Chains A and B, each alone.
Chain A
Amino acid sequence: AQKITQTQPGMFVQEKEAVTLDCTYDTSDPSYGLFWYKQPSSGEMIFLIYQGSYDQQNATEGRYSLNFQKARKSANLVISASQLGDSAMYFCAMREVNSGGYQKVTFGTGTKLQVIP
């Protein structure tokens, strides 16, 4: 079974509008974490935001916020006031801790976001 599901292969958003990128996950680990990474056309992977499973509040980092709904196992990324430079691939990822105490991070298939001027 897929551990991380991103159902939107591509999204368009008008500049200055907000956009939500969906991510659902599947785990039986009570302690896990969720990440979002951005991959622009230049190829590097840029860390955006992190949410721990026990965090009481939704994570926010500037224009990025993570809409964490634990019961629904979803961790959607919200980008407010989109900018042209936000056009990129966005990957959702989940960290679990294995029996040896080490983390393993699993990624989704990504969503390609295009911001329209």
Chain B
Amino acid sequence: EAGVTQFPSHSVIEKGQTVTLRCDPISGHDNLYWYRRVMGKEIKFLLHFVKESKQDESGMPNNRFLAERTGGTYSTLKVQPAELEDSGVYFCASSQVRGTLHFGNGTRLTVT
């Protein structure tokens, strides 16, 4: 089966610009998670979708971040406008009900 795929793998943008990250979960996985790792720190939870619904978005840092999962398939995470502190690696993961999280390769975002 195809794994979790994320696009793009890298993105370099200027402060104030907009970036949209995409995640395609494993087919049949209703649970989709977004995480972020800032250099040297923990992998921090951002939010959790169950199908198309946001089950937990307690980790979203502020209203510059908008996540969607229309139709319960792929998800997008938009950062608008980007700030320097948004730089990091954004991971997407999917799972079955309470199964192991399967991660994508991440998107490395650099805001300059």
Report the nearest B residue to A6, measured CB to CB.
B42
B81 to chain A, nearest CB (A): 26
Beyond A4-B42, A45-B91, whether A102 also contacts B106 by CB under 8 A is no
* Contact yes or no, B41 A105, CB < 8 A: no
Q: Encode contact with B along A69-105: 1 for CB under 8 Å, 0 otherwise.
A: 0000000000000000000000101010110101111
Report the nearest B residue to A98, measured CB to CB.
B56
Q: Encode contact with A along B6-36: 1 for CB under 8 Å, 0 otherwise.
A: 0000000000000000000000000101010
Residues of B within 8 A of A42 (CB): 105
Residues of B within 8 A of A44 (CB): 103-106
* Contact yes or no, B56 A104, CB < 8 A: yes
Chain A residues near B (Cβ < 8 Å): 4, 35, 37, 42-45, 47, 50, 91, 93, 95, 97-98, 100, 102-110
